[in-house]
Structure 1
């Protein structure tokens, strides 16, 4: 049952109830961004530090010194003038005031003020420097691994238990785990809790993304999704201000957890986030689908209609939903039987991996020209917001697939120019190409997720999007690894991603055009809609239009003829059950307040 073709989600039914639900779904993005991005503040690069002097190791004649003089006789000097060693103390063999070597720190470290704004971080509390420096990138990789597992596991839970159930459950678990992180007593406990915390927050983000997309009508789907990205950016920037206000990582984690609890308190009620009617229909939960559709349409219900019509509609609903079929759930394993859908998931996962991973290369070219710490964050978020804004007119004018192809072309060209001509380009050209590459890579990764959500079927949209988002998080895992690597590793990283980005251009040509119209409901429906630029014979079945342009008003799928227009909605299902389809159309026309209501009643009167 195609809810878009039947008129459930159209611009004419974009009523106050749907607008409230969609607008309310933007606000949790702020809280989820706070939770997802607080990690890089807590585990930013270690601040300047040196060993704390140990008077017991000094000769008696030097123990009375203090201040800089004490540091001069306790710490060895490094080659840059005025720089002390961060990890070693001078060693004195006896009462002789002349040192003959160095030794490890014995009384801990003294740290400078961190650039992140937090005066106390886990690095400072547990001395994660010198021999324990490797624990910082380990934590970042484990946190990203939690994102990956959360997307894959909880994405499948979206298809099995529902979008709303997964969102509420993930938020509840994230609130409990966040409280445990704020009360961690040692670093291993913090490490394990951060793994599960990242998984639950990523699962909440994914389930909310899918629920918002499936509630929107085709005309508003793109703009609503892009606006939601702005709220995520607001949360990413707001976490910087929270760090300055809190100044302690435990307090910051407690505030973030409290905000997640507020989201759970309000969005735990179905009024602000109902269950997706699309998922309820495709899983054969007809009674729940009936209630969800009526709640969404109640603001368009006409109270002036005679009660006899309402009674007739209730009887028709009872006949329509009288089937006592058991719910039919789906597993991600079913996608292996649909080779075209599985191919699309692999291609889009590859593009998402490249879009997130290549940002590191562009950012490295810009860092020498930027102030430290906060400025790169503001730049990245500003470019992501600009990319989301530009994607709306581009997708409307050129189509989904052409927009994704254009973003990938710009990313690959700027990457190749910087890789081959960096030493010969003037400074302003390097800055321009790096900024353009960052903008295009942001647009590439953001639009890849949106494009995926429109071509994946409802029965497996959560699991498919989970795999594609997990690939993007895997690309981000290269950043903490490269931050602790040598310079040649950066150029190797750039070369690999630039080469694969060129390969992705050919892969995009294999993808179908989304068209921005009806969402596919089943695997069969998604397989029928496959049209690629490389398979010209399929164009003939779609009419005289180019796949990069908007679709025609008349389309045919597996023996089902659908006419989309302002005045008609005719459906000829394969089972020939005209009575149930007629009752369903009557329900939609009456409950959603469309102009077809009078025409349907006249046709029924003539038939009687």
Structure 2
């Protein structure tokens, strides 16, 4: 069936229908940057001094100057005795930021862990939301999850800027994180499933270009607006721009066919052909699904949606276990889980390391975003000519090498340190973009969102750990984060080499198709790929 769909998408070409979807889904990746990287500017580590109570007739207060900044002060009584007491109020250095979550809610000393928690809570939300989103998107559709989550994300993002206390702020951070995957990854899957084979590589690489551009803009906006509430409010406004195009999006015809909803898929393809001003010389029977390759197809739409949240949780666990059922699917799942864990930890870890490296935070974050931009142009011809597997493994290796070199550099050589950090960020960003494309091609349609979502879930585990590595381990041992990130990157590069190449194959739609394809005997067919009208993949059944 996958050859039929690829042929239909090839005949549709790339017209206004695809362009609307690609631009909308791509824009979504840029608007979530302010909340994904909010901790850099909203909850930074600040210098502070303990604010002493006013002196009274019976006692006076002082701070031990040998332990500044101190979290305690001493109470000196008239009889000469003294007691130590914890600070409850602080004077923060507001020379860089006029108001932050750190200063407004006193996130220092005993409450210092809440700073890293502020950044991690978003990633924990993504961790929890990823498997649920994967199951729901595979069951209810890509468009349904993307549009519903985008609307909720816009509402929660605006409200979260004006919350009065830390518990509610952390709760909203968690909720935004649970919607992150639905906006980012489900949108990406939808784009990949409507892209024809000819443009699938370039779409897979460039779809997240607004993320890098958004990171640059986020640094510039933070430089202009130093109050965290106004900064996040202005940064959340682009979410509202995303809402009108949602009315024109369509469901993935590939997903509709896998679910047995042939009439709906046929209607979507006819609409796409009308928008692109092309004629599809197809028979409705071409869209019929080979039932031998489908384990379960809902008989009616009502049956597919008639279950409660207890069943949803059960299906989430079942969906994850399905990813480990067969040998090839299990290998893809385990390697992608490792790859994405390292991607999340290293990608966000480098972005959050500006303070430890004594760089100007605004310039540092903007440069981190600038380092990502070449990945959306340079990587496309590389993966088109050399495939996915080897370039991704090389990107991991380069990241590992440059980060492991950093602790051995002579002190004071900031230019060389910045060069290595930028090189590492560029390489890990390229690996991120390559893995997004690679993972969407490794998993078959019936479990694609579950597979990519589960892998992406582990990237959020890495992202949640990254702030603690940079904020605590990096403060005590400045060289330690680079060593941890470097070793992890090298390990992911070696693991990636265990996978198969997906450059010349059609997207598999079912698990049996994935397991029965002999990738060792796939042959390059450049003419057919370039022509994009008779795109096929030569495959043989494994003995």
Distance 1:371 1:440 in 2: 20
- 1:410-489 equivalence runs, <5 A: 410-418=398-406, 421-422=408-409, 430-482=417-469, 483-485=471-473
TM-score (norm 1): 0.74
Equivalent residue of 2:8, what SS?
coil
Would the aligned equivalents of 1:158 and 1:462 in 2 still touch at CA under 8 Å? yes
- Pair 367,157 (structure 1): closer, same or farther in 2 beyond 3 Å: same
1:513, CA displacement in angstroms?
0.6
Relative to structure 2, which stretch is displaced further, 442-451 or 495-504? Answer: 495-504
| Match of residue 105, structure 1, among 57, 75, 87 | 87
Distance 1:290 1:444 in 2: 36
| Match of residue 380, structure 1, among 354, 368, 375 | 368
1:327, CA displacement in angstroms?
5.8
1:381, CA displacement in angstroms?
1.0
The corresponding residue for 1:577 is none
Q: Output one character per residue of 1:471-496: Cα deviation in whole Å (capped at 9) or x when no partner.
A: 22222223211212366666555545
Distance 1:49 1:27 in 2: 39
Q: Is 1:200 paired with 2:176? A: no
The corresponding residue for 2:154 is 175
Relative to structure 2, which stretch is displaced further, 145-154 or 324-333? Answer: 324-333
Q: Is 1:326 paired with 2:294? A: no
- 1:27-176 equivalence runs, <5 A: 27-45=27-45, 47-55=46-54, 57-59=55-57, 76=63, 78-79=65-66, 85-94=69-78, 103-105=85-87, 108-113=89-94, 115=96, 117=97, 119-176=98-155
- What is the aligned-residue RMSD (CA, Å)? 3.8
The corresponding residue for 1:184 is 163
Relative to structure 2, which stretch is displaced further, 32-41 or 345-354? Answer: 32-41
- 1:457-536 equivalence runs, <5 A: 457-482=444-469, 483-485=471-473, 494-515=482-503, 517-529=505-517, 531=519
| Higher relative contact order (CA closer than 8 Å, sequence separation 6+) | 2
- Pair 462,52 (structure 1): closer, same or farther in 2 beyond 3 Å: same
Q: Output one character per residue of 1:151-185: Cα deviation in whole Å (capped at 9) or x when no partner.
A: 22212221111111001221233234335423433
> Deviating runs (4+, > 6 A) in structure 1?
318-325, 360-369, 424-427, 563-567, 569-572
1:79, CA displacement in angstroms?
4.3
Q: Is 1:398 paired with 2:386? A: yes
Relative to structure 2, which stretch is displaced further, 408-417 or 160-169? Answer: 408-417
1:301, CA displacement in angstroms?
4.4
- Pair 302,335 (structure 1): closer, same or farther in 2 beyond 3 Å: closer
Q: Output one character per residue of 1:337-386: Cα deviation in whole Å (capped at 9) or x when no partner.
A: 32211211211221222233245776799867663211221121111112
1:102, CA displacement in angstroms?
5.2
Distance 2:320 2:93 in 1: 50
Equivalent residue of 1:92, what SS?
strand
Q: Is 1:268 paired with 2:251? A: no
TM-score (norm 2): 0.82
Equivalent residue of 2:216, what SS?
helix
Would the aligned equivalents of 1:5 and 1:564 in 2 still touch at CA under 8 Å? no
- 1:256-405 equivalence runs, <5 A: 256-264=235-243, 266-269=244-247, 271=248, 273-301=249-277, 317=284, 326=299, 331-359=319-347, 371-405=359-393
Number of aligned residue pairs: give it: 516
The corresponding residue for 1:232 is 211
Q: Which has the larger radius of gyration?
A: 1
Structure 2: tracts of 5 or more residues without a match: 292-296, 305-314, 539-543
1:261, CA displacement in angstroms?
3.7
1:527, CA displacement in angstroms?
2.2
1:514, CA displacement in angstroms?
1.1
Would the aligned equivalents of 2:122 and 2:174 in 1 still touch at CA under 8 Å? yes
- Pair 515,182 (structure 1): closer, same or farther in 2 beyond 3 Å: same
- Pair 488,110 (structure 1): closer, same or farther in 2 beyond 3 Å: closer
1:93, CA displacement in angstroms?
1.4
1:92, CA displacement in angstroms?
3.4
